[in-house]
Each structure stands twice: as C-alpha cells, then as structure tokens.
Structure 1
Amino acid sequence: MTKGQRIAELRQSNKMSQSELAKAIKVSPSTIGMWETDQRAIKDNDLISLANIFNVTVDYLLGNTTSKHGKAPEWANDQDKKDLKVFLEENSNDMTFGGEGLSDEEREQVRRILEGFFWEKQKRKHK
C-alpha cells in the first residue's frame, strides 16, 4: 500500500472528505487529492499533522510498519526501514494459498507476521 493509499484509507475510515482533511491541515483539497494519488510529495510537518489527526505513527504513513500504532524500533536506521518496505513488497503483496488469493485482511496479517520476523532478524544483526 502506498503512502497515498494509506492516507485515503485513513480519511475514508474516519468518514472525512478531502475538503475536511484539507481544512484541518491547512492545505487545499487538491493537495489532499494529489497526496492520495501519490502525485505530490508530503512535507514532514504535514506527515506529522496527518499522523496526529488519524492517531497513527509517521512510520505507518511512510510504510515502515504495517501496524497503525506501531513503529520501527528505535535502533532501526533509515536503511532498515527501506529494507523492510522492500521485504514486505516482495513477500506479501501477491500471495496465494492453495491457488486462491488472500483477502485484504489476510494479506495484512501476513504482512504483520513478516514485519515481526524482519525486525527480530534485524535486531540480531544489530547486536
């Protein structure tokens, strides 16, 4: 899931319009639309505002964790976070079981398991 997709999902699950979110962050509704379609980069201060509004971590918005309230471990560096993103994209997006595709919920469960595995492995590497 891209940064924009996460923002759109959070906005919709909070029953907010793009205009309402734009007003809360003090940007234009078209900016929200471009963020949600990954056509415009998001400034750091806007990412922080989004995280506060939706009660999630910036790491979640950036795709560095699959848990809305979780975050990358304090010892994790930027390369670890990038590696996790690649690891999850390569290992969980197109999974099937018995030839049948996974539901979004099942795919998210697999991503959480893979994320836990990844951080445990990285933790051993950093010691």
Structure 2
Amino acid sequence: MNTGTRLAYLRNKKGMSQPQLAEKLSVSQSTIAMWESNKRKISAEDIVRLADLFAVTTDYLLGRQPKDDGLLVAAHMDDDLTDEQKKEIEEYIEFKKAQYRKQHEKD
C-alpha cells in the first residue's frame, strides 16, 4: 500500500471527505486528490500534520514497517480498541515473536 492509498484509507475510516480534509489542512481539495492518487508528493511537514491528525506514525503513512529480527510486527493499533483488546494484541505479537525466534534458532 502506498502513501496515497494509506491517506485515502485513513480519511475514509474517519468518515471525512476530501474537501473536509483539505479544509483542516488549509490546502485545496485537488491537492488531497493528487496526494491520494500519488500524482503529487506530500511534504515532510504535511506528513507530520497528517500523522498527528489521524493519530498514526509518519512511518505508517510512508509505508515503513517496523521489524523485529526480520518479522513484520505491526504498524499501529486503532484508537477505538479497548485496553483489553490492545493487551490481547500485544500478547499475541509477543507470542508470534517467540515462535519466530524459536523456529529460526534451529536454522
């Protein structure tokens, strides 16, 4: 998934139109459309503003995936999860990491 696709996904997830997002960022709607279609690069400053607005990391917007010993872990968790759900996900990630390490120790 590229940056434009991630932006469109986050915007739609928030139930926000392109004009609404444009107004929040003080840019034109056509700028949002061009970002989402990857016809215009998003400035570093705007990436930070978007990350803050959508409560995600800049790495997530840029498509950078955190890794642990070669294992893709997670990019972010949605804010609407309960603490119990977040804990469950974190425990599962730790379980998968342990499985991965155990499997690769044999190699």
Q: How does 1:16-95 map to 2 (within 5 A)?
A: 16-65=16-65, 67-68=75-76
1:68 CA displacement:
2.8
State the structure with more CA Rg: 2
Instruction: Report the counterpart of residue 103 of structure 1 in structure 2.
Output: none
Aligned-residue RMSD, C-alpha: 2.2
Per the normalisation by structure 1, the TM-score is: 0.53
Partner SS for 2:64 = coil
Identity of aligned residues (%): 46
Which structure ranks higher in relative contact order (CA pairs < 8 Å, sequence separation ≥ 6)? 2
Secondary structure (helix, strand or coil) at the match of 1:45 reads: helix
* 1:41-69 Cα shifts (integer Å, max 9, x gaps): 10111001100110000000000025135
Q: How many residues align?
A: 74
Q: Which runs of 5+ in 2 are unaligned?
A: 66-73, 78-92, 98-107
C-alpha displacement at 1:34, in angstroms?
0.3
Q: Which amino acid aligns with 2:16?
A: M
- 2:12 aligns with 12
SS at match of 1:16: coil
Which contiguous aligned blocks of 4+ residues in structure 1 show a shift greater than 2 angstroms? none
Structure 1: gaps (5+ residues) = 70-112, 118-127
Aligned AA for 1:35? W
**What TM-score comes out, normalization by structure 2 length?**
0.63
1:8-46 CA distance string (max 9 Å, x none)? 000000000001101111110000000000000101110
